[in-house]
């Protein structure tokens, strides 16, 4: 398959390709192949490169952009190459404070009015209301969901009938799934075992407030 808007071949990995991943996430998604020539022939990274890249690329993507991409090792005629699958993200993604966008066969930086338009489009959400496309309901901790149901029943927040629905229906009823069907960050914070897998540095603080949201007692 030749290169096109959502397919790119690179013979070896360079960190500047993180800009391409950012651009894919902001456009239509895409696949970046490492270890292929421009015409699609496999040249394959060596064994040491393979092991290092499989560990470092996912970490660099998450650490610099706060997103998750599938990084797979593939084989063709005993040669190895790496496939990086990037989903389209509903919210605008930045890399080192810059916003990139894949357009045709080029990668460009979004600036000026175009950036303003993109940011306005993504507004209307709080931080914890941003979707996480790769997080599935089945990934959430069973123990956390069961504990929530138990406490919600005890405190009369939910009825017994409301807790007996399937987990995906429960998430929808709790408004933890957005209009496109993605779980949001609030679901991840409440029910996922390791929130930092999805958002670097994420954690929960519990505060006691007075008469308003600005009146933080402790």
What percent of the chain shows pLDDT beyond 70? 90
**What is the fold, at CATH topology level, of the domain defined by 7-123?**
3.30.950
3-state SS, residue 75? strand
- Rounded Cα gap, residues 21 and 40, in angstroms: 19
Pick from 81, 84, 100, 83: nearest CA to 92: 100
Bridge partners of 103?
A: 106
Q: Which residue has the higher pLDDT, 6 or 18?
A: 18
Instruction: Tell me what pLDDT residue 47 has.
Output: 56
Q: Which residue has the higher pLDDT, 1 or 22?
A: 22
Tell me the average pLDDT across 144-159. Answer: 94
Q: How far is CA 114 from the centre of its chain?
A: 23
pLDDT digits (tens, 9 = 90+) for 73-108: 998 888 889 999 999 888 788 898 888 888 777 778
Predicted TM-score of the model (pTM): 0.59
Residue ranges of domains in the chain: 7-123, 128-197
- Rounded Cα gap, residues 182 and 117, in angstroms: 23
Using only the alpha carbons of the chain, give its radius of gyration. 21
Q: Mean pLDDT over all residues of the chain?
A: 87
């Amino acid at each position: 398959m030749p290169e096109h808007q959502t397919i790119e071949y690179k013979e070896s990995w360079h960190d500047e390709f993180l800009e391409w991943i950012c651009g894919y996430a902001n456009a239509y998604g895409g696949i970046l192949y490492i270890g292929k020539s421009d015409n699609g022939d496999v040249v394959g990274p060596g064994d040491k490169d393979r092991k290092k890249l499989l560990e470092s690329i996912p970490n660099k993507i998450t650490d610099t952009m706060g997103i998750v991409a599938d990084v797979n090792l593939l084989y063709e005629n005993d040669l190895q190459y790496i496939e990086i699958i990037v989903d389209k993200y509903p919210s605008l993604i930045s890399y080192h404070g810059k916003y990139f966008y894949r357009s045709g066969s080029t990668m460009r930086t979004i600036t000026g009015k175009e950036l303003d338009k993109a940011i306005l489009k993504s507004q209307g959400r709080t931080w914890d209301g941003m979707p996480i496309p790769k997080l599935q309901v089945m990934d959430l901790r069973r123990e956390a969901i069961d504990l929530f149901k138990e406490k919600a029943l005890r405190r009369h927040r939910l009825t017994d009938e409301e807790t007996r629905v399937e987990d995906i229906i429960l998430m929808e009823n709790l408004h933890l799934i957005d209009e496109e069907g993605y779980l949001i960050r609030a679901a991840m914070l409440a029910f996922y075992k390791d929130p930092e897998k999805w958002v670097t540095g994420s954690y929960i603080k519990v505060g006691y407030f007075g008469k308003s949201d600005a009146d933080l007692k402790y």
